Structure 1
Amino acid sequence: PSYGLPILLYDPECKGAEAYKNLAKEVIGHGQKRSG
């Protein structure tokens, strides 16, 4: 249970948070490649 907190605030070092951060980096990287 996260008690209403985002995973990055509740437990930023857990596997789920690490996976989420990696996904966000990948999505941002793809957006930057398309825009310039």
Structure 2
Amino acid sequence: MTAPAQVEKGLIRQEEVILPEELVIKKDNKGRN
């Protein structure tokens, strides 16, 4: 299920949608720890 679909169904709030760029940053940070 895509993020917009999850928002439509009320599973997650709009603010909680993770952008691909944010996901990459989080992965990079985990890799450095």
Q: TM-score, normalised by structure 1?
A: 0.44
Larger radius of gyration: 1
**TM-score when normalising by structure 2:** 0.48
The one of the two structures with greater contact order (alpha-carbon pairs below 8 A, sep at least 6) is 2
